[in-house]
């Protein structure tokens, strides 16, 4: 009797990035992280450009964002958010005409990208939006981060010892979608000095500039709290990194946060209503209390276990094996 072949094998994977040379923006960082995680599992993965999507005889091609590519190989398209709900909570400074035009163009591209592809959403909220807006089903695979670079902070670190020394850190572009205004309001109301790690400054925050990975990890560890009053996210890498370090992180119900609260219910103490300055201020007010500190410990343990690059890579490896087998059986 013939032996049964192994269900798992090394795969050749092309991961199409909107900008292969960029490792700073979220989608581009995701592409490089995924390639590294898959290669650690003995796959042959490579970040490629749109023009080079078919450069190798890959077993599977992974596309992202609004990238539309047709391939001979099985293709997976990753949704890092859905254009219409994202636009409704972004770019308030722009005209309604511009927002409608952008939403239509991006939605059309996202729809075309999903046609004929196996689809992945990076959070359950994104999967629900994808189903509601386009009628697409998808597999939910949360993002992963480097938990060796973002290590738990020590209990005797360089953080302020008194209320006058307390610091808050805001991470990322201070665009309206991320509501830096709410962060500044809450920090001022509760006596925090607020720092900004981003590519450009914002009034009311002390600008640290764009930090390297090691400097960002140190900045998170030295802050008393991290502030993320975002209006829209899918699965924020900066949020996962802050949780991996263990600094209390006050955020909103956007994106992957409900997935975290489902696994770590007491983390709801650190979660505010989207768009509410009052709710965010209340959450920040209890961020250093013992119950919130305990919730933070639970979240830290969960993220370091479930969102490490090792776990991330294994989830993706298993998923891609199923994709290749299903297309081979078709």
Is residue 288 within 8 Å of residue 196, measured between CB atoms? no
* Angle value at C-alpha 270, between 185 and 261, nearest 5 degrees: 140
Alpha carbon separation from 304 to 109, 204, 262, 289 (Å, rounded) = 34, 33, 16, 22
123-138 pLDDT, tens digit each? 999 999 999 999 999 9
Domain 163-306 classified CATH 3.40.50.2000?
yes
Q: Count the Cβ atoms, other than its own, within 10 Å of residue 152.
A: 15
Token pair for residue 319? 């998923």
Which residues make Cβ contacts (< 8 Å) with residue 20, sequence separation at least 6?
A: 28, 31, 47, 48, 49
The predicted structure's pLDDT at residue 163: 57
pTM, to two decimals: 0.92
Which residues make Cβ contacts (< 8 Å) with residue 25, sequence separation at least 6?
A: 19
Superfamily of domain 12-144+309-329: Glycogen Phosphorylase B; (3.40.50.2000)
Mean pLDDT, contiguous 10-residue spans, the chain (330 residues):
52 94 90 97 96 90 89 94 90 84 92 96 98 98 97 62 79 94 98 96 96 96 97 96 98 98 98 97 98 97 97 98 81
Quote the CA–CA distance of 240 and 309 in Å, as a whole number: 11
**Domain residue extents for the chain:** 12-144+309-329, 163-306
Reported residue count of the chain is: 330
Which residues make Cβ contacts (< 8 Å) with residue 19, sequence separation at least 6?
A: 25, 28
The predicted structure's pLDDT at residue 329: 58
């Amino acid at each position: 009797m013939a032996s049964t072949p192994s269900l798992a094998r090394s795969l050749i994977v092309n991961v199409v990035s909107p900008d292969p040379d960029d490792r700073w923006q979220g989608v581009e960082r995701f592409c490089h992280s995924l390639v590294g995680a898959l290669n650690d599992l003995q796959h042959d993965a490579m970040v490629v450009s749109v023009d080079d999507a078919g450069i190798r005889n890959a077993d599977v091609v992974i596309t992202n964002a609004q990238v539309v590519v047709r391939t001979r190989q099985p293709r997976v398209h990753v949704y890092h958010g859905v254009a219409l709900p994202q636009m409704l909570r972004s770019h308030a400074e722009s005209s309604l005409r511009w927002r409608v035009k952008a939403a239509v163009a991006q939605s059309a591209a996202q729809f075309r990208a999903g046609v004929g592809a196996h689809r992945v959403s990076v959070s359950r909220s994104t999967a629900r939006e994808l189903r509601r807006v386009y009628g697409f089903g998808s597999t939910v695979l949360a993002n992963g981060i480097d938990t060796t670079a973002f290590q738990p902070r020590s209990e005797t670190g360089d953080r302020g010892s008194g209320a006058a020394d307390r610091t808050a850190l805001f991470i990322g572009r201070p665009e309206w979608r991320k509501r830096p205004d709410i962060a500044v309001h809450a920090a001022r109301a509760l006596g925090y000095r607020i720092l900004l790690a981003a590519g450009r400054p914002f009034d009311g925050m002390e600008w640290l500039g764009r930090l390297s990975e090691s400097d960002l990890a140190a900045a998170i560890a030295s802050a008393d709290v991290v502030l993320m009053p975002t209006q829209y996210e899918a699965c924020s890498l900066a949020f996962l990194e802050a949780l991996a370090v263990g600094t209390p992180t006050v955020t909103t119900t956007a994106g992957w946060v409900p997935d975290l609260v489902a696994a770590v219910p007491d983390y709801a103490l650190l979660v505010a209503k989207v768009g509410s300055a009052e709710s965010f201020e209340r959450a920040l007010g209890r961020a250093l209390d013992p119950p919130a500190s305990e919730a933070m410990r639970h979240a830290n343990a969960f993220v370091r276990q479930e969102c490490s690059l090792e776990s991330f890579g294994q989830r993706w490896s298993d998923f891609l094996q199923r994709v290749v087998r299903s297309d081979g059986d078709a």
